[in-house]
Chains A and B, each alone.
Chain A
Amino acid sequence: MRRGAPGFARWFLLCVSPPDEREFLLDDLDEEFAELAAAEGRGRAVRWYWRQLLTSAWPLALRRLRPRPRGGPSPSASRGIGDDARFAVRLARRNVVPSLTIVATIALGIAGTTAVFSVVEGVLLRPLPIEDPGQVVRFRLLHRNGRLGTSVAWPDLQDYRAQTRAFDAMAGASPGEMVYAGAANAEFVSSLAVEEDFDRVFGLRPAIGRWLSAEELREQREDVVMLSHAFWSVRFGGDSTVVGTAIALDGRPRTVVGVMQPGAFLYPSADADVVLPLHVPRESFRRNRGAVWLPAVGRIRSGVSFEQAASELSVVGARLSIEYPASNEGIHPRLERLHDTLVDPVRPMLLLLSGAVVLVLIVAAGNVASLLLALANARRRELAVRVALGGDPWRVRRQLLIESAVLAGVGGAIGIVMAPMTTRLLLGLYPGGLPRAEMIGLNPIVLAVSLGAIALAAVLAWIPSARRLARSDLRHDLGAGGRGHSAGARELGQVAVAGQLAMSTVLVFTAGVLLATHEQLSRVDPGFRAEGVLTFELAASQARYPEPEQIRTFFAEAVRRIEALPGVRDVEEASFVPFGPCCWGDVFVREDLGDRGTDNPTAQVRWITPGYFRLLGIPAVAGDDSVNEDPAQRLVVMNETLARQAFGDTDPVGKTIEWNGLRGWRVAGVVRDTRERHWMPAMAELFVPMGWRRGRYLLVRHDGAPETLLGAVRETIRGLDPMVVVDDPATLSARMREALAPHRFRAALVGVLGAAALFLAGVGVFGLITQAVGRRTREIGIRMALGASGHRVARHVVWEAVRVAGAGLGVGALLALPVRRVVGAFLEGAAPNDVGVLAGTGLTLLLVTCAAALIPARRASRVDPLVTLQSE
């Protein structure tokens, strides 16, 4: 028929013409071609054919693209997607259990993904809620020892402001706590003391009243205050007449000049209740450039880049270090974007979390895919018949894709509905709270990513069955037994399950490393006896206790009354508490060596009462530890680390030192090191007499459970002075547990995700082996007919699962190597036994695999050869 009609042109026309017409169209063309060739020669006919092609292609293509308006019985290509969807729903209702499993798996996967991504989006990706957030920076100071500090010296800051032009606004902002005396009792409120221009850095505007005026800020007035919206709402019930009246803070009346807007962005303390003018307390702080105590923020002028501002600041820093070498030499001011400041500390944790969730999602998609594949296999005859009767394979694939999409859509919708709950759970568990947590929520971006994940899940789950169709051997599938998986499909299933096991290996291994780290850290000996000790802070305010003697009397009476409580064995005081808030470091001078400038030793200075070491069970290693009762005796105690750092091999006992400008203090003794955090080596510590400090921690050793003592302690202190607050109460053991909370959170979270992945992979193994056994029933029957025992058959089946698990484990172990390096950032010096953890992971995976293979293996061992062979 063809008789030389140009092959390519013919093929091209075949492609563009509508499927139900192409045959007739081409035959008609062939007919004319043949006649023309006979009448006028082949060359003309070929040219004619090509002209036909060029002029036909366009109308045919247009015709193909246009949908047909016809309502009658339609050819397959135009049957609506709606029909497919309805069919998919009918199908799902026919296979309730696998369909529900798919929907539940996808729902969980999407809920997890959405929750984690909404956290990542809110915390890491969203810009700060201020104008031009990229221009807002904080100032840092690179010290001589390489430490990057978070505070600057007040006089330096004034010079930065005067000598740079890259900044719109610059302000010191010092966070703190104040005692607010309400109507009934006193409480601590968080305060932020700021300089002029602080409002311009963050674009702050008052909701009521006015902002602190430039004069008030410049004059460092101590009689005005600005309230946060939250504090105003809770304490004053949103009463706007409070503006203009005075409230008592730290015993001093301050006039409320205004209330900030709700959600106003503040730094360094985001949740400050009150904002007031910065008061530089000591004259020395106004002159001393070595006193680095003030956090500072700034806004870079618009149009000036971060790098330009940073380099201008460096120039000023260099100038100051020449001008004031004693204090500023070798010290470099640095800029840091505020967004980085807030987000950098949590970034690794969130990335770990995202990675773990994505791995679980992949494992879940693997299960969904194999379930769908199983459903498609069950229908392979139906599908094969459709293709055999001339159904377009792509049309059948579209049908399968829509089935996958319907299930993924339902599961995804449920997942998105569940996501806010999951997010709340996650935030509730997150230790210490996340920065910017108030920004986390479902928004269009998060929703778009979730929908993307759902689409991805639908497509991923669809691919295996679509490929299955491509390979399907029609004759095989149509065959009577229909016992057919091609070898390819079987391999695909094995690879998928091995992949699931590999992902699970990575997760379980990571969880194991984190768990081992937590275990190791929690077993660290802190160097003191933490059990049975309640600790809390008391502050004697300037207003109520102006004289040193009054302070001493107040604390002495408090200690006396608490000691009288039942079960209390000992009460001591200290300026700090181990595993509590950090500390106050200072430089001191060995008087035998004289002042050596920057080479002077530094130490954490701890003010304590004499029984402190006895209460905590810290032994003296040299000299005497209990002699520093009276400051007039000028006795100090060191820990081993400080003795080693400051005195080396010489015995420090009896030597004299100068600290905080006080001369002639003698070292009475050396005590054993204690830890400040599980993972930190002991710091150099200098213990000095308590004297008349206003703020002190009380340590109470109790015979029973110390936490039960708290009510009585509060009652006692209220009886002594109702305006004094029992602040930051916790047992020492609880503080130690609290310090490990981030480790526990990480280990628990990755552990839960790892368990989920392992469970899903187990289901995958179960499905794979069940299918394999079903497929090989006849073979097993023959084996048993030939004398194989049920045991042997079961072992054979389990062995197949173990082979797949071995492959998964191998790949997983390789993947775990780079992951281990990432996780290294969280270990804080702990060195878990990686090989042991990996071995444990492998064992766990093998156990799960065997458990999952056991049920199908038992079924295989009970195959009755007679029944099986007869049914063939």
Chain B
Amino acid sequence: MTARETLGELELYVLVALARLGDEAYGVTIRREIERRARRATSMGAVYATLGRLADKGYVTFHFSEPLPVRGGRSRKHALLTAAGRRALRDSVRALDGMLSGLELGFTSERPS
């Protein structure tokens, strides 16, 4: 577990977004989720590149949706957390919590509801 690679910031955001979005996670929703919650401008390219990296590490798998029932409807590439991805997310969050516990930074973390 200690040998596991550390997650980059954007990787962490993408994993969290996947955990929140569940079945609805694909390029558009992931990008919006990160922009909305982390208040960070994020490009579609960066999202795809990050998803690719996470897939290389085995944290993410893809599945393709049925074509949308509209004219010229397309298939979407949905991303899903794997068990390993879930563990990696848990470990990162725990590590962050451990680092933060008992620390007074003089500002409060803002939790959007």
**Which A residues are closer than 8 A to B by beta carbons?**
1, 13, 16-18, 21, 24-25, 27-29, 31-32, 51-52, 55-60, 62-63, 68-70
User: Knowing A21-B52, A63-B53, A69-B56 touch, does A13 contact B72 (C-beta < 8 A)?
Assistant: no
**Which chain B residues lie closer than 8 Å to A58 at the CB level?**
45
User: At the interface, yes or no: B49 with Cβ under 8 Å from chain A?
Assistant: yes
User: Knowing A21-B52, A24-B76, A70-B56 touch, does A57 contact B45 (C-beta < 8 A)?
Assistant: yes
User: Knowing A18-B52, A60-B49, A68-B56 touch, does A28 contact B28 (C-beta < 8 A)?
Assistant: yes
**Which chain A residues lie closer than 8 Å to B76 at the CB level?**
24, 27-28
| Complex interface residues of chain B between 6 and 30 (CB less than 8 A to chain A) | 26-28
Query: Contact check: which of A1, A24, A55 meets B27 at CB < 8 Å?
Result: A24
User: At the interface, yes or no: B37 with Cβ under 8 Å from chain A?
Assistant: no
**Which chain A residues lie closer than 8 Å to B87 at the CB level?**
none
Contact digits for B30-66, partner A, Cβ 8 Å, 1 yes 0 no:
0110000000010111101110110010000000000
User: Knowing A1-B72, A31-B28 touch, does A13 contact B45 (C-beta < 8 A)?
Assistant: yes
For the complex, give the distance between the alpha carbons of A188 and B76 in Å: 96
**Which chain A residues lie closer than 8 Å to B53 at the CB level?**
63
For the complex, give the distance between the alpha carbons of A32 and B29 in Å: 10
Closest Cβ–Cβ distance, residue B10 to chain A (whole Å): 9
Residue in A closest to B29 when the chains form the complex, CB atoms: A28
23 contacts between A and B (CB under 8 A): A1-B72, A1-B74, A17-B48, A18-B52, A21-B77, A24-B26, A24-B76, A25-B48, A27-B74, A28-B27, A28-B28, A31-B28, A32-B28, A51-B43, A55-B43, A56-B44, A56-B46, A59-B48, A59-B50, A60-B49, A63-B48, A63-B52, A63-B53
For the complex, give the distance between the alpha carbons of A69 and B54 in Å: 12
For the complex, give the distance between the alpha carbons of A31 and B30 in Å: 13
Contact check, A59 vs B56: say whether CB atoms are below 8 A apart. no
Contact check, A62 vs B49: say whether CB atoms are below 8 A apart. yes
Contact check, A52 vs B27: say whether CB atoms are below 8 A apart. no
Query: Contact check: which of A25, A32, A69 meets B45 at CB < 8 Å?
Result: A25
**Which chain A residues lie closer than 8 Å to B45 at the CB level?**
13, 16-17, 25, 52, 55-60
For the complex, give the distance between the alpha carbons of A31 and B29 in Å: 11
**Which chain B residues lie closer than 8 Å to A68 at the CB level?**
56
For the complex, give the distance between the alpha carbons of A642 and B12 in Å: 106
Closest Cβ–Cβ distance, residue A59 to chain B (whole Å): 4
Number of A-B contacts (CB under 8 A): 68
**Which chain B residues lie closer than 8 Å to A52 at the CB level?**
43-45
**Which chain B residues lie closer than 8 Å to A28 at the CB level?**
26-28, 31, 44, 76
Residue in B closest to A25 when the chains form the complex, CB atoms: B48
For the complex, give the distance between the alpha carbons of A63 and B31 in Å: 18
Closest Cβ–Cβ distance, residue A836 to chain B (whole Å): 73
**Which chain A residues lie closer than 8 Å to B31 at the CB level?**
28, 32
User: Knowing A1-B72, A55-B41 touch, does A24 contact B46 (C-beta < 8 A)?
Assistant: no
For the complex, give the distance between the alpha carbons of A295 and B47 in Å: 83
Residue in B closest to A28 when the chains form the complex, CB atoms: B27
Contact check, A59 vs B43: say whether CB atoms are below 8 A apart. yes
Closest Cβ–Cβ distance, residue B112 to chain A (whole Å): 21
**Which chain B residues lie closer than 8 Å to A51 at the CB level?**
41, 43
Chain B at the A interface: mostly helix, strand, loop or mixed?
A: helix
Closest Cβ–Cβ distance, residue A753 to chain B (whole Å): 56
Contact check, A55 vs B52: say whether CB atoms are below 8 A apart. no
**Which chain B residues lie closer than 8 Å to A70 at the CB level?**
56
Number of chain B residues whose Cβ lies closer than 8 Å to a Cβ of chain A: 20
**Which chain B residues lie closer than 8 Å to A16 at the CB level?**
45
For the complex, give the distance between the alpha carbons of A59 and B28 in Å: 17
Residue in A closest to B52 when the chains form the complex, CB atoms: A63
For the complex, give the distance between the alpha carbons of A13 and B44 in Å: 11
For the complex, give the distance between the alpha carbons of A63 and B28 in Å: 19
Contact check, B44 vs A29: say whether CB atoms are below 8 A apart. yes
Known A-B contacts: A28-B27, A29-B27. Give 10 more (CB < 8 A): A25-B44, A51-B43, A55-B43, A55-B45, A56-B44, A58-B45, A59-B50, A60-B48, A63-B48, A70-B56
Contact check, B27 vs A59: say whether CB atoms are below 8 A apart. no
For the complex, give the distance between the alpha carbons of A172 and B76 in Å: 92
For the complex, give the distance between the alpha carbons of A336 and B64 in Å: 81
For the complex, give the distance between the alpha carbons of A24 and B78 in Å: 10
**Which 10 pairs across A and B sit closest by C-beta, in order of nearness?**
A56-B45, A28-B27, A55-B43, A59-B49, A24-B77, A63-B49, A56-B43, A60-B45, A59-B46, A28-B28
For the complex, give the distance between the alpha carbons of A68 and B44 in Å: 20
- Central interface residue in B27, B32, B45, B77, by most chain A CB within 10 Å: B45
Contact check, A25 vs B27: say whether CB atoms are below 8 A apart. yes
Closest Cβ–Cβ distance, residue B67 to chain A (whole Å): 11
**Which chain A residues lie closer than 8 Å to B50 at the CB level?**
59
For the complex, give the distance between the alpha carbons of A17 and B48 in Å: 9
For the complex, give the distance between the alpha carbons of A710 and B28 in Å: 103
For the complex, give the distance between the alpha carbons of A18 and B77 in Å: 14
For the complex, give the distance between the alpha carbons of A70 and B56 in Å: 6
Closest Cβ–Cβ distance, residue B32 to chain A (whole Å): 8
Closest Cβ–Cβ distance, residue A378 to chain B (whole Å): 38
For the complex, give the distance between the alpha carbons of A539 and B56 in Å: 91
Contact check, A21 vs B41: say whether CB atoms are below 8 A apart. no
Residue in B closest to A58 when the chains form the complex, CB atoms: B45
**Which chain A residues lie closer than 8 Å to B41 at the CB level?**
51, 55
For the complex, give the distance between the alpha carbons of A68 and B58 in Å: 12
Residue in A closest to B30 when the chains form the complex, CB atoms: A28
Contact check, A21 vs B48: say whether CB atoms are below 8 A apart. yes
**Which chain B residues lie closer than 8 Å to A55 at the CB level?**
41, 43, 45-46
For the complex, give the distance between the alpha carbons of A60 and B52 in Å: 10
| Complex interface residues of chain B between 72 and 101 (CB less than 8 A to chain A) | 72, 74, 76-77
Residue in A closest to B32 when the chains form the complex, CB atoms: A32
Residue in A closest to B27 when the chains form the complex, CB atoms: A28
Closest Cβ–Cβ distance, residue B79 to chain A (whole Å): 10
- Central interface residue in A13, A21, A58, by most chain B CB within 10 Å: A21
Closest Cβ–Cβ distance, residue B35 to chain A (whole Å): 11
For the complex, give the distance between the alpha carbons of A13 and B27 in Å: 15
Closest Cβ–Cβ distance, residue B72 to chain A (whole Å): 6
Residue in B closest to A55 when the chains form the complex, CB atoms: B43
Closest Cβ–Cβ distance, residue B28 to chain A (whole Å): 5
Residue in B closest to A56 when the chains form the complex, CB atoms: B45
For the complex, give the distance between the alpha carbons of A16 and B49 in Å: 11
Closest Cβ–Cβ distance, residue B58 to chain A (whole Å): 9
Closest Cβ–Cβ distance, residue A776 to chain B (whole Å): 48
For the complex, give the distance between the alpha carbons of A60 and B49 in Å: 6
- Central interface residue in B26, B28, B49, B50, by most chain A CB within 10 Å: B49
For the complex, give the distance between the alpha carbons of A1 and B75 in Å: 13
For the complex, give the distance between the alpha carbons of A9 and B37 in Å: 28
**Which chain B residues lie closer than 8 Å to A17 at the CB level?**
45, 48
Residue in B closest to A59 when the chains form the complex, CB atoms: B49
Residue in A closest to B45 when the chains form the complex, CB atoms: A56
Residue in B closest to A70 when the chains form the complex, CB atoms: B56
Residue in B closest to A63 when the chains form the complex, CB atoms: B49
For the complex, give the distance between the alpha carbons of A345 and B77 in Å: 75
For the complex, give the distance between the alpha carbons of A51 and B26 in Å: 20
For the complex, give the distance between the alpha carbons of A57 and B27 in Å: 16
Closest Cβ–Cβ distance, residue B70 to chain A (whole Å): 10
Residue in B closest to A57 when the chains form the complex, CB atoms: B45
Residue in B closest to A27 when the chains form the complex, CB atoms: B74
Closest Cβ–Cβ distance, residue A380 to chain B (whole Å): 34
**Which chain A residues lie closer than 8 Å to B28 at the CB level?**
28, 31-32
Closest Cβ–Cβ distance, residue B13 to chain A (whole Å): 14
Closest Cβ–Cβ distance, residue B60 to chain A (whole Å): 13
For the complex, give the distance between the alpha carbons of A59 and B8 in Å: 14
